[in-house]
């Protein structure tokens, strides 16, 4: 178990990521899980929960921050990361999407396109109350097909919700194939910028780069909401699954589990 | 008591509800009102507390998601929107983000049922009460006039958790005395039943009263139970009142399959024997018409209700249960 203190060194975060991936593969050996999209978002979740100062007895961190995993099908990554951060009782979770009551879970998600609106409402509430609380919403790139995301994006920019951060897990794949072949998202940075957001880019598997971007996003100094477009690889960390859409939703056979565990590679030094 | 042959007073619900919301905002500094490019209901709050009124624009899904976030931040939230767009565009947000977690959000839907009339079927919403009644933790109100509309909104806000209040789009006939007292658990028995009972809500209340006036006389007096709170449905009360009658009719501006028709039938099934008729909206595509014409199209009129009751109490099966 990793000792809990905000802003661990990058090496420690890389170890958390690897431990979480190992847990994730173990979960995937006993049930069907959304594996590819969980592997791509693990480093993002490690970075986000670390920066907010998450601890099992302090799920909203130092400032009452609220994290929403809007791409709820990646809940397996969330269980694995929270377990690495010391949350007990997540060795055999049953719910295939986040449910309220799990430490660190702000809202039950799974139907896509809901999280950013909820995060915007929380951010607006914090501003009305004059508190320092921030909202971080982790979105999938396929999720950006949902129109409600862009309703929320317009709303957040209009109200200048500088205490709202979106992180897009830009792994380039959705259930049936490449995002650009199903419904083009590019130019994605320009889309967010044109909606009035500050846009930061980061390698979503490089803890140092992620931390720099997330810290900037969370500083609230810009007067606008901030999106971090995190370039990731679906299946990242298990070399034989990387970029392979077949691992979107799977249960691993004992042989696959053994091979995947052997193929587990350390992340944290970037996607390349 | 007004009848369909006398002059009736009709008043819009919106200004009254706007006053109720302003009073609620006075009493609770944590109350905020959200709207979707429609400010009539928020007029009072907006004027007095501009920072506590947020217009999210024409974006109902986001409207409800933001309401969920604000409620999670500890706010008591009132969401005001046109019923058809609230119910159909934001259905998933209402269910997942507000009702499931049981948050303190009161939805006020303007123009439920057929009340937008000639604006057409895009604007009709004969399924709103059924939709909200299908959600966990959620109370549902369908006032008939300004009097119980004010009560319904106060009641919705007085109890923690999600609630929906359907308002008419235009003027609604005043059927209640200004000082009438309502009870969410029992409904209001406006006419005692003789051989028949009408279970009614919203515009159905005035129609049922008119039918009762037509039927006044020995042998087939029509009782009228007006339900402002439709969910939770007062099953026991309906069973109790039906126990002494030969016929039960439902009068509602809603689909029977998810409205008072279904709720009343479920309350009585297997426990009561008699004639039953639902004067409700059905799924047939409507003609262009104003509200009165549309109600007539669906046979939700005093004449149709009275005819149903007469058929039932004179029919071959009448009284068979005795």
Q: Does B36 touch chain A (CB under 8 A)?
A: no
Domain-located, residue A128: yes
- The pLDDT score that the predictor gives to residue A268 is 58
SS3 (DSSP) at B5: coil
All residues of chain B having their beta carbon less than 8 Å from the beta carbon of residue A110 are: 96
Domain-located, residue A62: yes
CATH 3.40.50.920 domain locations along chain B = 188-313
Beta strand A177-178 with A173-174: parallel, antiparallel or unpaired?
A: antiparallel
Q: What is the pLDDT of residues A214-259, one digit of tens each?
A: 999 999 889 999 999 999 999 999 988 998 888 889 999 999 999 9
Domain-located, residue A246: yes
Domain-located, residue A272: no
- The pLDDT score that the predictor gives to residue B27 is 98
User: pLDDT category, B316, cuts 50, 70, 90?
Assistant: low
What range does the domain containing A208 cover?
A: 10-262
Residue A37 half-sphere exposure toward CB, CA atoms < 13 A: 30
Q: What is the pLDDT of residues A9-42, one digit of tens each?
A: 888 999 999 999 999 999 999 999 999 999 999 9
CA B28 to CA B48: how far, in whole Å? 13
Beta strand B196-200 with B247-255: parallel, antiparallel or unpaired?
A: parallel
Averaged confidence pLDDT in chain A: 93
Could you tell me how many CB contacts below 8 A there are between chain A and chain B?
98
All residues of chain B having their beta carbon less than 8 Å from the beta carbon of residue A155 are: 56-57, 59, 62, 66
Mean pLDDT of A190-206: 98
CA B173 to CA B282: how far, in whole Å? 23
Q: Which residues pair with B189 in a beta bridge?
A: B225
Q: Percentage helix, strand, coil, to 5, in chain B? A: 40, 20, 40
Q: Does B105 touch chain A (CB under 8 A)?
A: no
CA distances from A73 to A29, A234, B208 (A): 17, 13, 50
CA A118 to CA A137: how far, in whole Å? 9
- The pLDDT score that the predictor gives to residue A176 is 87
Residue in chain A closest to B103 (alpha carbons) equals A107
All residues of chain B having their beta carbon less than 8 Å from the beta carbon of residue A128 are: 32, 51-52, 73, 75
CA A210 to CA A215: how far, in whole Å? 8
Q: What is the pLDDT of residues B137-148, one digit of tens each?
A: 999 999 999 999
- The pLDDT score that the predictor gives to residue A35 is 94
Q: What is the pLDDT of residues B79-123, one digit of tens each?
A: 999 999 999 999 999 999 999 999 999 999 999 999 999 999 999
Residue A151: CATH number of its domain: 3.40.50.970
Q: Which residues pair with A167 in a beta bridge?
A: A138, A228
Cβ contact A121–B51 (<8 Å): no
Domain-located, residue A1: no
CA A221 to CA A178: how far, in whole Å? 35
B176 CB-near residues (< 8 Å, 6+ apart) = B144, B145, B147, B148, B188
Mean pLDDT of A52-74: 94
SS3 (DSSP) at A70: coil
Domain-located, residue A268: no
What's the CATH number of domain B10-173, 1.25.40.20, 3.50.50.60, 3.40.640.10, 3.40.50.970? Answer: 3.40.50.970
Q: Give, in words, the CATH class of B188-313.
A: alpha beta
Residue A121 has pLDDT above 80, yes or no: yes
CA B67 to CA B63: how far, in whole Å? 6
- The pLDDT score that the predictor gives to residue B1 is 45
Residue A175 has pLDDT above 60, yes or no: yes
Q: Which residues pair with A268 in a beta bridge?
A: A206
CA A215 to CA B95: how far, in whole Å? 34
Taking the CA of residue B20 and the nearest CA in chain A, the distance in Å comes to: 23
- Spatial strand order of the sheet with A164-170 comes to A66-69, A135-140, A164-170, A226-231, A198-203
CA distances from B297 to B56, B117, B119, B285, B303 (A): 36, 12, 16, 10, 12
- The pLDDT score that the predictor gives to residue B317 is 52
Cβ contact B73–A155 (<8 Å): no
User: pLDDT category, A270, cuts 50, 70, 90?
Assistant: low
- The lowest-confidence range among A236-240, B112-116, B224-228, B236-240 is A236-240
- Compute how many other C-beta atoms are within 10 angstroms of the C-beta atom of residue B204: 31
Domain-located, residue A227: yes
- Compute how many other C-beta atoms are within 10 angstroms of the C-beta atom of residue A194: 12
Q: Does B104 touch chain A (CB under 8 A)?
A: no
Q: Which single residue is written with the structure tokens 């670390």?
A: A50
All residues of chain B having their beta carbon less than 8 Å from the beta carbon of residue A165 are: none
When divided into structural domains, chain A yields a total of: 1
CA B284 to CA B50: how far, in whole Å? 44
User: pLDDT category, A1, cuts 50, 70, 90?
Assistant: very low
Q: Does A165 touch chain B (CB under 8 A)?
A: no
Averaged confidence pLDDT in chain B: 94
Residue A5 has pLDDT above 70, yes or no: no
Option in B52, B65, B71 nearest A117 (CB): B65
Domain-located, residue A212: yes
In the structure encoding, which two tokens stand for residue A70, read together?
Answer: 């809007």
DSSP per-residue codes, B94-140: IIIIIITTT-SEEEEEET-BTTTGGG-TTT-BTTHHHHHHTSTT-EE
CB A53 within 8 A of CB A8: no
Taking the CA of residue B66 and the nearest CA in chain A, the distance in Å comes to: 4
Q: Does A99 touch chain B (CB under 8 A)?
A: no
CA A229 to CA A168: how far, in whole Å? 5
CA distances from A103 to A40, A110, A111, A137, B261 (A): 22, 17, 20, 16, 43
């Amino acid at each position: 178990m990793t000792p809990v203190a905000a802003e661990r060194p990058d090496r420690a975060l890389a170890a958390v990521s690897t431990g979480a991936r190992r847990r994730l593969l173990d979960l995937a050996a006993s049930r069907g899980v959304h594996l590819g999209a969980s592997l791509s978002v693990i480093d993002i979740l490690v970075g986000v929960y670390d920066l907010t100062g998450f601890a099992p007895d302090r799920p909203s961190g130092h400032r009452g921050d609220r994290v929403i995993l809007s791409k709820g099908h990646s809940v397996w990554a969330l269980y694995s990361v929270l377990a690495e951060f010391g949350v007990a009782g997540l060795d055999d979770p049953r719910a295939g999407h986040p449910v309220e009551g799990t430490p660190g879970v702000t809202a039950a998600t799974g139907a896509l396109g809901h999280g950013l609106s909820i995060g915007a409402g929380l951010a607006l509430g914090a501003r009305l109350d004059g508190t320092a609380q921030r909202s971080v919403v982790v979105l999938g790139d396929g999720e950006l097909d949902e129109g409600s995301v862009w309703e929320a994006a317009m709303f957040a920019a209009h109200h200048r919700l500088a205490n709202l951060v979106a992180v897009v897990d830009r792994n380039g794949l959705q259930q049936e194939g490449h995002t650009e072949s199903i419904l083009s998202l590019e130019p994605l940075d320009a889309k967010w910028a044109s909606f009035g957001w500050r846009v930061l880019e980061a390698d979503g598997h490089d803890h140092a780069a992620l931390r720099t971007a997330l810290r900037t996003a969370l500083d609230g100094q810009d007067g606008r909401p901030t999106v971090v477009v995190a370039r990731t690889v679906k299946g990242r960390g298990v070399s034989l699954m990387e970029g392979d859409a077949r691992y979107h939703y799977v249960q691993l056979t004992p042989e696959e589990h053994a091979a995947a565990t052997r193929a587990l590679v350390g992340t944290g030094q970037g996607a390349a | 008591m007004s009848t369909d042959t006398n002059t009736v007073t009709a008043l819009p619900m919106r200004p009254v509800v706007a006053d109720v919301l302003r009073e609620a905002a006075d009493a609770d500094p944590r109350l905020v009102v959200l709207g979707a490019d429609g400010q009539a209901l928020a007029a009072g709050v907006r004027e007095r507390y501009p920072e506590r009124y947020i217009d999210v624009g024409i974006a109902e899904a986001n409207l409800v998601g933001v309401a969920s976030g604000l409620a999670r931040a500890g706010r008591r939230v009132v969401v005001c929107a046109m019923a058809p767009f609230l119910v159909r565009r934001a259905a998933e947000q209402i269910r997942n983000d507000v009702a499931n977690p049981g948050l303190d959000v009161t939805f006020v839907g303007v123009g439920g049922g057929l009340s937008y009339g000639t604006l057409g079927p895009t604007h009709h919403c004969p399924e709103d009460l059924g939709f909200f009644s299908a959600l966990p933790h959620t109370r549902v109100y369908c006032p008939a006039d300004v009097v119980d509309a004010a009560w319904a909104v106060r009641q919705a806000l007085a109890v923690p958790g999600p609630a929906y209040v359907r308002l008419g789009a235009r003027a609604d006939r005043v059927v209640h005395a200004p000082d009438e007292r309502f009870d969410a658990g029992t409904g209001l028995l406006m006419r005692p039943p003789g051989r028949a009972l009408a279970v009614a809500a919203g515009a159905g209340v005035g129609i049922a009263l008119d039918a009762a006036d037509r039927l006044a006389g020995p042998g087939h007096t029509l009782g009228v139970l007006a339900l402002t709170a439709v969910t939770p449905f007062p099953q026991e009360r309906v069973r109790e009142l039906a126990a002494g009658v030969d016929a039960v009719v439902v009068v509602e501006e809603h689909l029977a399959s998810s409205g008072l028709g279904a709720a009343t039938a479920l309350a009585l099934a297997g426990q009561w024997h008699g004639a039953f008729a639902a004067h409700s909206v059905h799924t047939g595509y409507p003609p262009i018409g104003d509200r009165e014409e549309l109600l007539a199209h669906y046979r939700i009129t005093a004449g149709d209700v009275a005819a149903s009751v007469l058929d039932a109490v004179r029919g071959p099966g009448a009284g068979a249960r005795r």
